């Protein structure tokens, strides 16, 4: 559906390695305005690395990033934000002791005019009014924007975090596991918000382990495996099983091989896990074939 439009963001043959670990290899990826592209893959497949490369946290080793057709260099998170790429990480980065308005405008507070420019006073009225507008626009229901974010449900917090990312009027919004650890009703709220982002013309990149959610909102599904793009599927014409197969590599369309590469990837994944302190889990057999969520404590099932 989006092939005819110019992608707002496109990656061409992007590679990134951390020491001996090749996290991304020649990945091509793009997202168009008003399109939701889901990014799926097993742990250690490179989803987070890809998002962080686009967000400017990791500089890419080779390849090109095009923004609205122009090659760009994203060397820092500020570069990404300045281009119009907003990222909502899984930990949301909200201050629980601050209220919704304070969180929405954190780091970009508005100052009042007149006497307030001398006293450097905040313009609370303007910020609160804009917060209402923003949330209404997204059909996010929060009764009191002056209540502390810490008192809110996971779904509301996620929605506040996504709303905050929209304040800079970004063209691309990247969501890292927006429905992880949410209940059914809250997941539905967040997915509805993702759909509204698409309606508003944002390009949305969404990492998710939950294929049901992916199929509900995504236009296209990009499968990463072992740092490579293992398939780009039209969500409407793809089955659940095909995606699972692509994720686990039971029949890899690009290489067809399984053995040593998978073993290498598992070793990499374990190393990654060790790096983030979750190495307690035993090594998995390379061809478990099950859904990729079983080893992920964050997964929504």
Q: Binding residues for other proteins, per CB under 8 A? A: 77-78, 89, 91-98, 102, 106-109, 111, 119-122, 124-126, 128-129, 132, 141-144, 146-148, 150-154, 156-157, 181-183, 185-186, 298
Q: Which is nearer to other proteins, 140 or 205 (CB)?
A: 140
Nearest CB to other proteins, comparing residues 95 and 212: 95
Min dist CB 52 to other proteins, Å, is 13
For other proteins, the closer CB: 35 or 102: 102
For other proteins, give the closer residue by CB, 144 or 199. Answer: 144
Of 35 and 177, which has the nearer Cβ to other proteins?
177
Minimum CB–partner distance for residue 19 and other proteins (Å): 24
Beta strand 9-18 with 62-67 is: antiparallel
Bin 146: left if φ > 0, else alpha if -120 < ψ < 50, else beta.
Answer: alpha
Using CA atoms, how far residue 77 sits from 74, 83, 87, 173, 264, in Å, is 8, 10, 9, 14, 31
CA pair distance 88, 100, nearest whole angstrom = 16
Nearest-approach distance from CB 140 to other proteins, in angstroms: 10
For the bound state, the minimum distance from the C-beta of residue 128 to other proteins, rounded and expressed in Å, comes to 5
CA-wise closest residue to 54 among 66, 45, 42: 66
Q: How far is the CB of 4 from other proteins (least distance, A)?
A: 36
Yes or no: say if 184 and 214 are a contact pair by the CB < 8 Å rule: no
**Nearest distance, CB of residue 238 and other proteins, angstroms:** 30
Contacts of 55 (CB under 8 A, 6+ apart): 74, 77, 80, 85, 87, 174
Q: What gap in Å lies between CA 238 and CA 221, rounded to an integer? A: 9
Which one-letter DSSP state was computed for residue 273?
A: H
User: Whose Cβ is closer to other proteins: residue 142's or residue 192's?
Assistant: 142
DSSP-based three-state secondary structure for 11: strand
Are the C-beta atoms of 231 and 211 separated by less than 8 Å?
A: no
Directed axis angle between helix 184-199 and helix 154-165, to 10°? Answer: 20
- Nearer CB in complex with other proteins: 28/281: 281
Smallest separation, CB 98 to other proteins (Å): 6
Rounded-to-integer distance, Cα 27 and Cα 63, Å: 8
Q: How far is the CB of 104 from other proteins (least distance, A)?
A: 10
The HSE-up count of residue 291 (CA atoms within 13 Å, CB side) is 13
Cβ distance to other proteins smaller for residue 91 or 199: 91
């Amino acid at each position: 559906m989006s092939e005819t439009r110019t992608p707002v963001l496109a990656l061409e043959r992007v590679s990134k390695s951390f020491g001996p670990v090749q996290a991304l290899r020649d990945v091509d990826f793009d997202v168009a305005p008003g399109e939701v592209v889901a990014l799926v893959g097993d742990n250690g497949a490179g989803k987070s690395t890809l998002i962080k490369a686009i967000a400017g946290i990791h500089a890419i080793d080779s390849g090109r990033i095009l923004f609205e057709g122009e090659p760009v260099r994203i060397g820092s998170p500020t570069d990404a934000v300045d281009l119009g790429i907003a990222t909502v990480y899984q930990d949301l980065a909200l201050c629980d002791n601050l209220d919704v308005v304070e969180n929405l405008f954190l780091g970009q507070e508005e100052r009042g005019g007149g006497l307030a420019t001398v006293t450097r006073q905040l313009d609370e009225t303007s910020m609160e009014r804009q917060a209402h507008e923003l949330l209404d626009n997204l059909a996010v229901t929060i009764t009191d924007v002056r209540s502390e974010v810490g008192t809110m449900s996971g779904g509301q917090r996620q929605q506040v975090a996504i709303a905050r990312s929209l304040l800079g009027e970004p063209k691309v919004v990247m969501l890292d596991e927006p429905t992880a650890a949410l209940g059914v009703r809250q997941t539905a709220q967040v997915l509805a918000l993702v759909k509204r982002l698409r309606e508003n013309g944002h390009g949305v990149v969404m990492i998710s382990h939950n294929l049901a959610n992916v199929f509900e909102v995504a236009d296209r599904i990009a499968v990463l495996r072992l740092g490579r793009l293992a398939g780009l599927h039209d969500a409407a014409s793809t089955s659940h099983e095909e995606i699972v197969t692509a994720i686990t590599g039971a029949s890899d369309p690009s290489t067809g091989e399984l053995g040593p590469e998978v073993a290498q990837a598992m070793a990499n994944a374990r190393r990654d896990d060790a790096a983030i302190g979750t190495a307690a889990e035993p090594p998995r057999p390379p061809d478990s074939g099950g859904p990729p969520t079983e080893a992920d404590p964050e997964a929504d099932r």
